[in-house]
Amino acid sequence: MSGTLGIAVLGTGRMGADHVRRIDRMISGARVAAVADPDGDRAKEAAAGLEGCTVHTDPAAALAAPGVDAVLIASPGPAHEAALLECFARDLPVLCEKPLTPDAAGALRVVEAEQRRGRQLVQVGFMRRYDAEYEQLKALLDGGGLGRPLFLHCRHRNASSPSFFTSEMLVNDSVVHEVDAARWLLGQEITAVTVLSPRPSPAAPEGLRDPQLVLLETSGGAIVDVEIFVNCGFGYQVQCEAVCASGSARIGDGHAMVVQSGGRWGGTIAQDYTVRFADAYDRQVRRWVDAVRQGRVAGPSVWDGYAAAAVSEAGVAALHTGARTAVDLAERPPLYR
């Protein structure tokens, strides 16, 4: 398309409002044409100062608003399936924040609905694929110079968790990022999950099993271990080390400016994901907009969203049983091969 891409943003909470700001200030060739949120005041606040942007409390009304060519879904996960099906009915391309849906069955229904349309319309928002360090690691592994990958050692730490966070959410809201990153970096499916829980950290709220160690087995014989610790206290930290047959590579050390003074040295640690992955979010939305303007879909597909949901379900089961749990994955349709 030659004109400016009009985007409806569904959900104007922290992530949605950040995307509204990003589209308005950082992305060329696009504008926010409509926003929707059940909290009308929050929607109005997000749209303040945006010329020609209409404000809605009903997502369907936002999709039908004048000038809407594409949709960015940043609403809570349980609202995604209905919004995606409505986008399919209107033939609107979508960038959907993770999770695609909260459960594998819902994600599979979205996969089947998109297949019936005969072409892909949806990109899922696994932003780590757009992080510069992750892209470098992906290129290195694909090049084969380090040999066959044997392990991925991953750390995922948050300074603190929200009050509503549950033990299950450590797996399906946080580790899901490592699930997608591992599938993408290795080019392999995850076949089984084991979850081990030490005695909870003193900083963990009552009843929260934090931290956890999640072990992922892959179809290519690699092992991925993820330390998920959402109340570490010192900041937001994401690291990944690939250990291969002929060498290793590590990302996420966060070596920015180092200050030496008074007999000490050190630097700063990002406090949340919007800071650590700000550039990745910018790249993700920019590339999505560019692809939509060219009439194509790129990036993580609804199949990737479904696979992540299936692995997360197996992970939650493993958390409760303590047993190694196989991942029950449907056959991959030709549309996503």
| pLDDT, position 2 | 66
Residue at 26 is within a domain: yes
Contact 249, 100 (CB under 8 A): no
Q: Which residues pair with 5 in a beta bridge?
A: 30
Question: In which residue are the tokens 């066959």 written?
Answer: 148
Residue 33 lies in a domain: yes
| 119 and 157 fall within a common domain | no
Q: Could you tell me which of 113, 108, 66, 76 has the C-alpha nearest to residue 91?
A: 113
Could you tell me if 215 and 287 lie in one domain?
no
Burial 47-81 (b: 16+ CB within 10 A, else e): beebeebbbbeebeebbebebbbbbbbbbebebbb
Please report whether residue 229 resides in a domain. yes
Same domain, yes or no: 196 and 327: yes
Q: 58 and 84: one domain? A: yes
* Range 133-137 contact pairs with CB under 8 angstroms and sequence separation of 24 or more: 133/251, 133/252, 134/181, 134/185, 134/240, 134/251, 134/280, 136/251, 137/185, 137/240, 137/242, 137/249, 137/251
Q: Residue 101: which domain range?
A: 5-128+279-300
Q: Is residue 137 part of a domain?
A: no
- Is the Cβ–Cβ distance between 65 and 79 less than 8 Å? no
Report if residue 69 sits inside a domain: yes
Q: Distance between CA 247 and CA 6 in Å, rounded?
A: 46
**CATH code, domain with 74:** 3.40.50.720
- How many structural domains compose the chain? 2
Length of the chain: 337
Burial of 139 (0-12, 13-18, 19+ CB in 10 A): exposed
Q: What is the pLDDT of residue 269?
A: 87
Same domain, 216 and 332: yes
In sequence order, the β-bridge partners of residue 194 are: 215
Q: Are residues 235 and 97 in the same domain?
A: no
Predicted pLDDT of residue 168: 97
288 and 190 in a common domain: no
**Same domain assignment for residues 188 and 265:** yes
Say if CB 243 and CB 149 are below 8 A apart: yes
The verdict on residue 134 lying in a domain is: no
140 occurs within a structural domain: no
Q: Are residues 257 and 289 in the same domain?
A: no
Same domain, 73 and 181: no
Residues 122 and 233 in one domain: no
- Residues 286, 213, single domain; the answer is no
Tens of pLDDT along the chain (337 residues)? 668 999 999 999 999 999 999 999 999 999 999 999 999 999 999 999 999 999 999 999 999 999 999 999 999 999 999 999 999 999 999 999 999 999 999 999 999 999 999 999 999 999 999 999 999 999 999 999 999 999 999 999 999 999 999 999 999 999 999 999 999 999 999 999 999 999 999 999 999 999 999 999 999 999 999 999 999 999 999 999 999 999 999 999 976 778 887 899 888 888 988 889 999 999 999 999 999 999 999 999 999 999 999 999 999 999 999 999 999 999 999 999 8
CATH of the domain at 226: 3.30.360.10
Cα angle at 179 between 174 and 180, to 5 degrees? 105
In a domain, 218, yes or no: yes
